[in-house]
Amino acid sequence: MTGIVAPPGRLTRLADGVYAYLQLPGGWCLNNAGLIVGPEGSVLVDTAATEARTRHLGDQVDAVAGGGPDIVVNTHFHGDHVFGNGLFAPRATIVAHEGTRADMAEAGLGLRGLWPEVDWGETRLLLPTLTFRTALTLHLGGAGPHVELLHIGPAHTATDVAVWVPEQRVLFTGDVVWSGVTPYVLMGSVAGSLRALTRMRTLRPRVVVPGHGTVGGPELFDQTEEYLRWCRGLAQDGLRAGLSPLDAARRAGPGPYAALADPERLVGNLHRAYAELEGLPPGARIDVSGSFKEMCEFHGGLPECRA
């Protein structure tokens, strides 16, 4: 089911020239985006899932950075972060990790099929035209902020990118960090996520913009880490008891995380945690379709998407 459609997002100023576009409450397909504006250009961090949501994002960006953005950065390949690329081209150059580009090409518009009742609108798939492997720095002119793109995956996916604005100490984490929403690492790594969180802490950000949910500070690293360590403990116990990931999730329930949105993601997270404990490398392919079916079974139906 799709349930009630969430209200449009809102662009919020975080620091001079740095903004977050928040789509709350932040569940399935309600991602955050970011905007960094300098004297000679602007950078948009991620887009939105539907045409209507992306057009609203574009209107708010245009009000701050007229005619912008000049660059769109995709933090990873999932449709809620990339489906709006085409609405900012050809003016904007689309930038991503080279692995993200390959995963986007493979995934296509498949996410739309999970929730056919959502009004997706026209969201043509537009792949990045500029890719990198480890890091890339974007200079926005004069004394304006510069923007560092850091490959920190595998975490949420195999090739996640964080966007760091060091002058303002603002960090856009993509879906490596979550706020009030259950983390999801099925396509990435539990161990890799923990390493990514450690690396991001060393940046000492003042403001942390998660991929979904409300903006916070470094405490969001702690909250995401605590959840992932809990999942790994459940996986260790489940393997010892001979339980499947679905049965382990049913036995555990939400545990101390009942307040987080989308608790069915526990099933997918346990599939990844089991696989890693059994030797699957971080970020290696896993049965996504089978896991999603089990999440639906755990949830009692299709998870709610309010896009």
Comparing CA positions, the residue from 183, 224, 209 lying closest to residue 11 is: 209
Q: pLDDT digits over 236-287, tens only?
A: 999 999 999 999 999 999 999 999 999 999 999 999 999 999 999 999 999 9
Q: Which residue matches tokens 């969180």?
A: 197
Residue 163: how many other CB atoms lie within 10 Å? 22
| Percent of the chain at pLDDT exceeding 70 | 99
Phi-psi region at 139: left, alpha or beta (left = phi > 0; alpha = psi -120 to 50): beta
What is the band of 144 on the pLDDT scale with cuts at 50, 70, 90?
confident
Q: Does residue 3 have a pLDDT over 80?
A: no
Q: Which residue matches tokens 């349930």?
A: 3
Rg (C-alpha) for the chain, rounded Å, is 18
How many residues in total does the chain contain? 307
Q: Does residue 126 have a pLDDT over 50?
A: yes
Rounded distance between C-alpha atoms, residue 119 and residue 114, angstroms: 12
C-alpha to C-alpha distances, 303 to 178, 265, 294, 295, nearest whole angstrom: 18, 9, 11, 8
Q: pLDDT digits over 104-123, tens only?
A: 999 999 999 999 999 999 99
This prediction has a pTM of: 0.97
Comparing CA positions, the residue from 262, 295, 281 lying closest to residue 30 is: 262
Name the strand (E) or helix (H) holding 198.
helix 190-202
Residue 137: beta bridge partners?
Answer: 148
pLDDT value of residue 1: 47
CATH ID of 10-220, from 3.40.50.720, 3.40.190.10, 3.60.15.10, 3.40.390.30:
3.60.15.10
CA angle 272, 273, 274 (to 5 degrees): 90
Rounded distance between C-alpha atoms, residue 86 and residue 132, angstroms: 20
At 200, is the secondary structure helix, strand, or coil?
helix
Whether the CB-CB separation of 172 and 34 falls below 8 Å is answered with yes
